[in-house]
A and B are shown apart, each in its own frame.
Chain A
Amino acid sequence: MRLRLSRRSLFAFFAVLGPGFVTASAGNDVGGIATYSAAGAQFGYATLWSLLALTLSLIVVQEMAGRMGAVTGQGLAGLIRENFGLRITFVTMLALFFVNTGIAATEFAGIAAASELFGISRFIAIPASMAIVFLLVLRLPNKIVERVFVVFSLIYLTYVVSGVLAHPNWSEVARDAVVPRIVKNPAFLVTIVGLIGTTISPYMQFFLQSQVVDKGSRARDLPAIRADIIVGSVLAIALAGFMIVANGATIFQATLHGGHPIDINANPQAVDFARALEPLAGHFAEVIFALGILNAGLFTAAVLPLSTAYIVCEAFGLEASLDRRFREAPVFYSLFAGAILLAAGLVLLVPKESLFKLIIYAQVVQGVLLPLELVLMLVIVNRPRVMGSHVNTRTLNAIAWATAIVIGSLALVYVWQSLTGA
């Protein structure tokens, strides 16, 4: 009986760390680490305020997805199909497939960068990690894999410790976290769009909603779903904040005092960002940085192509299950394998110096796609015939529309800037 009780309370603890938590932490993948590191290294704490605004947006957007899943019992892809028809669904799925493949490519790029810190060529590391990813997904039980990655994710906590040990000027940190500040540098806009893209990724809404549906959650479970989303989002963004602080307090400060500046337009290397962990890890900074990147990269490189295949198949009503043989679910397996091959192939083709650049720009593309997805979500979540009494409130609509509009215009300005070279 006592054993049972303790198992229960442990279960309750992990139940709180539900889909919302998992999804928000999934945002801290290779792209996340790279973007937050670059933001801190290049602009110090100047981007922190955007994280505060993003927390609210992330919570609102994720809550909408969670609510749609619980109320309709359907995934986002299915809802888009039912509400917007086949063509819009097709275009959305096409975009999602390529954006997600792009993100998967950043994961492989991260793996390549990390393995090169150990002196292993990426022409060995990438094929090896592809093999590992296929093996993980096709051969290993899911719970074990998940646990290993969750344990390894604790590596991120080194950023918290390292950030504190670097003795940042806390009053400066606090001011920059609350008071918006814009640095007059074209790269600043890129960084902000990238931060948005990596913190609220388009795939996260699909991912979260599927998990809520998968758990069989209902409208009455909404309070628990909301709590999970809020806790998960706040923790994940707090961690992101510490990555910026750690990089700001080390690399950016060093630059201020005559060190070598980091410019993301000038092909920074992974080894440059590892320095953010030096206050804690000293000579081991590179090793820890590489391990963190490897862990995040392998996990997301496995999960993302697989979930993309599930989502696309859901949208088109096609067979999608690892229980099936290839012949029974050819589209599903082809999408999964295709995404991994494309992603890994892309990384092998891109010259080594551009790997980190590829990572940052993949986040920017997400920032461009997100507003489009948000508009689809907002239309559905406001339809009484779909959501019943659980349509959006005015406040939620206001925040979500503001998010879509701000991100959309930032993305437009960014695209215009790149086209005109301004």
Chain B
Amino acid sequence: MPFHEGFVSELVGRSAIVERGGSRDVVGRVADFVVEHPEDTFPRIDAVIVKTRHGELAAPIADVASFDDGGIVLTKAPTVVRPPDDEALYLIEDLFDKQIVDVDGRKVVRINDIEIARTAGALRVVAADIGVGGLLRRLGIAKIMPRVVDRVPRSLIAWDNVAPLRDLSPTQIRLSVSEKRLSRLHPTELAEILGDLSAQDAARVVGSLDDERAADALEHLEPDVQRSIIDDLGTARAADIIEEMDSDDAADLLGELPEDRQNELLAEMDAQTADDLRELVAYADDTAGGLMTTDYFWIYPHRTVTATIAKIREIAPETEFIYYLYVLDQSEKLLGVLSLRTLLLAEPNATIHSIMDEEVVSVRPDVSAEDVASTIARYDLLACPVTDDRGTMLGIVTVDDAIDAIIPERLTRKLPRLTKRGQQRRAETVG
């Protein structure tokens, strides 16, 4: 009777029986299964490890005549010494209880069991069981109360989605859905997964993403975790990623690092970005200066509406916040502001000077976060410009950053953070 499908946990511990000319000898017990080419989509099981009185021995799968309730029936006694760990994947030793990233569920879970089935002429690994059913089966509860276990919804990850994270030692295999699919996730969701991984694994996942995706995900993580990921990435790569982050988030991150490390990273960035960040790092976190980003859209007053729209098209992909346009003179003094709406409704030939609002509400960089937030609320703004004593434009505080700053401890982040990191779930930039 050929074996069709089942779970590894149901086979482990069964007797290994050698059948020769009518006599059945129990030679040991099933201990594990060996896969020699784990990189295959549904890898084939190549051998069964049998625990005998002479130690653990491997029986090639060709020697397995059948699986039955009594155990595994072999055509001859296992004699091969088990292959070393670094050459083969052991289903129980290397996969059971290890972590796996469930990209669809956006969480990190553990492999409770492995489903195997006979397909395409061989016994293959088809899925990882990550559900309660697997837990109950392994604890032996499935045998006592089969009906209860049957009613537990099955929770499997098909093995063709599973790929090991790169450069991991085989003894610590943690598996993930392929990196391509990781990079299609929303940054918040990606950050959620990263938050559940160990810092080392999180750094490895971030390292596998492109700079922009990595920056997006990093922005959504806690400062402590950001710091340890950045430390692991190497200076050049870390600098590339920080450059892609929003300047306020990048400055916050740099502010967490020791000064010499800050300088190392800044030295790797382009001069303009580095200068901006240096200024931002100097401000205290809970002031307008600490909250502001230097990533805003500005324009000279003598430009026409048409020219400005053309400029926005050119620059907008790089700039997150384009709903307010700030009008500056040559010395970067803030002259006025206009909304994207005003711009779109104006005559194409009108100059910016003629349509801008000269009554600009702005704050000084040392104003407290609460005051910035109340200014933004009072004037119904999406962002508030930050200027120095001479009226020079320094940056803007967007409404979402202001909200975050006055609710620093989200209601979702409670006592004590312990094993799961509370993610900083920021509202997406307005729009």
Contacts and interface: CB of A to CB of B under 8 A. Distances in A.
A142 B419 contact: no
Given A82-B98, A145-B415, A306-B416, A317 B284 contact: no
A320 B224 contact: no
A72 B198 contact: yes
A415 B422 CA distance: 42
B414 A213 contact: no
A244 to B, nearest CB: 28
Interface in A276-323: 302-303, 306-307, 310-311, 313-314, 316-323
Contacts of A78: 99, 110
A3 B284 contact: yes
B198 A141 contact: no
A233 interface: no
Interface string B312-335: 000000000000000000000000
B415 A82 contact: no
B231 interface: yes
A26 B138 CA distance: 35
Given A3-B284, A73-B198, A142 B418 contact: no
A184 interface: no
A218 B229 CA distance: 10
B418 A210 contact: yes
A125 interface: no
Interface in A102-148: 136-146
Nearest to B228: A216
A143 B112 contact: no
Contacts of A87: 138-139
A142 B414 contact: yes
A308 to B, nearest CB: 10
A222 B425 CA distance: 30
Contact of A310 (B97, B139, B419, B425): B419
B171 to A, nearest CB: 5
A92 interface: no
Nearest to A388: B169
B125 to A, nearest CB: 19
A303 to B, nearest CB: 6
Contact of A320 (B172, B228, B419): B419
Contacts of A314: 419-420
Interface in B219-242: 222, 224-225, 227-229, 231-232
Contacts of A319: 107
A395 B172 CA distance: 28
A307 B413 contact: no
Given A4-B283, A216-B199, A138 B139 contact: no
Interface in B352-410: 408-410
Nearest to A149: B415
Interface in A32-89: 72-75, 77-78, 81-82, 85-87, 89
Contact of A73 (B97, B98, B201, B414): B201
Interface string B409-431: 11111111111111101000000
Contacts of A216: 199, 222, 224-225, 227-229
B201 A81 contact: no
A141 B224 contact: no
Given A85-B97, A317-B109, A307 B198 contact: no
A214 interface: yes
A72 B169 CA distance: 13
B414 A214 contact: no
Nearest to A77: B419
A337 to B, nearest CB: 14
Interface residues of B, number: 50
Chain A interface category by residue count? 35 or more
A143 B198 CA distance: 23
A144 B411 CA distance: 12
A142 B417 contact: yes
B389 to A, nearest CB: 16
A317 B130 contact: yes
Contacts of A323: 412, 422-423, 425
Contact of A142 (B107, B110, B172, B416): B416
A86 B110 CA distance: 11
Main secondary structure of the interface of B (DSSP, over half): loop
B158 interface: no
B269 interface: no
Contacts of A181: none
Given A73-B201, A82-B98, A317-B130, A217 B228 contact: yes
Contacts of B413: 141-142, 322
A303 B229 CA distance: 28
B420 A321 contact: yes
A90 interface: yes
Interface string A214-248: 11111000000000000000000000000000000
A214 B412 contact: no
A207 interface: yes
B349 interface: no
Given A210-B419, A218-B228, A323-B422, A317 B200 contact: no
Q: Which of A75, A138, A142 has the most CB of B within 10 A?
A: A142
A385 interface: yes
Nearest to A145: B415
B135 interface: yes
A266 interface: no
Given A307-B418, A317-B130, A7 B409 contact: no
A191 interface: no
A73 B139 CA distance: 27
Contact of B421 (A145, A214, A316): A214
A82 B94 CA distance: 9
A211 interface: yes
Nearest to B139: A90
A140 B413 CA distance: 9
Contacts of A142: 409, 413-417
B228 A4 contact: no
B108 A317 contact: yes
A175 to B, nearest CB: 40
Contacts of A316: 110, 135
B191 to A, nearest CB: 12
A7 B283 CA distance: 11
A214 B415 contact: no
Contacts of A74: 198
Given A4-B284, A86-B135, A216-B227, A322 B130 contact: no
Contact of B409 (A143, A211, A307, A385): A143
Given A317-B112, A322-B412, A214 B417 contact: yes
A379 B342 CA distance: 69
Given A4-B282, A213-B199, A216-B199, A310 B414 contact: no
Interface of B: 96-99, 107-110, 112, 130, 135, 138-139, 169, 171-172, 197-201, 222, 224-225, 227-229, 231-232, 282-285, 408-423, 425
27 contacts: A1-B282, A72-B198, A73-B198, A73-B199, A74-B198, A78-B110, A81-B97, A86-B138, A137-B414, A139-B411, A142-B409, A143-B409, A146-B415, A210-B419, A216-B225, A218-B200, A302-B415, A307-B416, A311-B418, A311-B419, A316-B110, A317-B109, A317-B110, A317-B112, A317-B130, A321-B420, A385-B169
Given A307-B419, A323-B425, 13 more contacts: A85-B97, A146-B415, A215-B224, A215-B228, A217-B199, A217-B228, A218-B200, A303-B415, A310-B418, A311-B418, A317-B130, A323-B423, A385-B172
